[in-house]
Amino acid sequence: MKLRIHGNSLRLRLNRSDVEQFRKNGICADVIRFGPASQLTYSLETSSSWREMEARYNQDCIRVLLPLEMAEKWASSDQVSLSLERDANSGPSLLVEKDFQCLHSDERNLSEDADSFPSPSADDQGK
């Protein structure tokens, strides 16, 4: 799972393995380590008790929370993304999306790209 923070927005990009883990377990998490005693954890989680998409930050952990029905529909379909636009005072804007293969891969990123979803634009490349 990839995390991108830009301004007042968060974007999570999940490859096929991440989406499958999220679909089965209701959570997908990763960690950025800044040394032996410091790390930032980020996760995508689902629960039937949540009514809307939201993000929470507490004790070096960013949690993006999805309602169960929304999460199930996204994870088990061809739907590419989920988003929530917010103003700066009510929390970050959110984008959760499936990570697609690069159309112009080189040898450096082929192993990373192998578990990505096939790019929908790849069909257009031969036309």
Q: What's the confidence (pLDDT) of residue 109?
A: 53
pLDDT above 80: residue 67: yes
Q: What's the confidence (pLDDT) of residue 69?
A: 96
In a domain, 102, yes or no: yes
Number of domains in the chain: 1
Residues 6+ apart with CB under 8 A from 72: 23, 46
Return the structure tokens found at 120: 């929908």
Q: What's the confidence (pLDDT) of residue 127?
A: 45
pLDDT above 60: residue 122: no
In a domain, 116, yes or no: no
* CATH number of residue 42's parent domain: 3.30.1360
In a domain, 115, yes or no: no
Q: Which domain holds residue 74?
A: 2-109
Q: What's the confidence (pLDDT) of residue 125?
A: 47
Query: Which pLDDT tens digit goes with each residue over 70-98?
Result: 999 999 999 999 999 988 788 999 999 99
Q: How many CA atoms lie within 13 A of 114 on its CB side?
A: 5
